Amino acid sequence: MLQEAIEQLRRGRPVLLFDFEDREGETDFVFPATHITPADIRLMRKEGGGLICVAIHPEAASRLSLPLISDVLLRCGGDIASLVERRGDLRYDSRSSFSLWVNHRSVFTGIPDRDRALTIREIGNAVERVMRGEHYVFHEHFRTPGHVAILRASEGLLESRRGQTELSVALAMMAHITPAMAICEMLDDESGNALSKDAAKRYARLKGIPFVEGSEVVRAYKNA
């Protein structure tokens, strides 16, 4: 199933990615950011229901000067700094991977499907360019605050953190595509909680979308 998922990503199509039972225990839609369309945004918000984000490679984040938002807030000092998550705040990890929330400068409000698709594609384009070694001035193309959350993968990827951010970027690396991935959690319409793994698998079979578990990604990435 992992190889099928990799081939699907190479074609610009989505996969479903479950992390771990002892972590978030969530299944995410994962799309290559450079191929996102308004229809893909609609799919994620209607049939996913979670937060639509873009996970990017840590090297790209460094070259684009994209910080972790927790580091930015700590520098603000005062009451703002006291809001920053502390060890133990997250029951599933030591920290989150949120960077900036942005809109592309060409969009209007930034929230319609077309606006978010354009912003996400352009984030993917920015990552592609800097990973090729090109110079790219991020603030010339994007503004913050915006409606697309950028997630900065941990240095060392799966060696240091195994969240959906790192797992999806690792999938991109194994597929040899731009390491910028749009992700969105799947929620249960009845309970409002994370969709169960069994329900996500049934959805994957019904829609013909490959379903991959984090443990598969970790094993394959170690052996790549």
- pLDDT tens digit sequence for 17-38: 999 888 888 999 999 999 999 9
Catalytic-residue membership of 24: no
CA distances for 84 relative to 68, 144, 154, angstroms: 11, 19, 18
E strands in 8-50: 15-18, 27-32
Q: Rounded to two decimals, what is the model's pTM?
A: 0.93
Kindly name the residue from 24, 26, 185, 213 that is annotated as catalytic: 185
**2-223: which CATH number, 3.40.50.1110, 3.30.70.120, 3.40.640.10, 3.90.870.10?**
3.90.870.10
pLDDT of residue 161: 81
Catalytic-residue membership of 135: no
- Residue 93: pLDDT above 80? no
What is the rounded average pLDDT of the residues 48-69?
A: 96
Catalytic-residue membership of 103: yes
Catalytic-residue membership of 35: no
Catalytic-residue membership of 125: no
Domain boundaries, the chain: 2-223
Kindly name the residue from 7, 92, 155, 193 that is annotated as catalytic: 92
Average pLDDT along the chain: 93
Lowest-pLDDT choice from 87-96, 139-148, 213-222: 87-96
- Is cis: bond before 67, omega within 30 of 0? no
Kindly name the residue from 47, 59, 113, 147 that is annotated as catalytic: 147
- Residue 177: pLDDT above 70? yes
d(C-alpha 147, C-alpha 59), whole Å: 23
Catalytic-residue membership of 147: yes
The answer to whether 50 touches 28, Cβ cutoff 8 Å, is yes
Beta bridge partners of 183: 30, 53
The answer to whether 180 touches 33, Cβ cutoff 8 Å, is yes
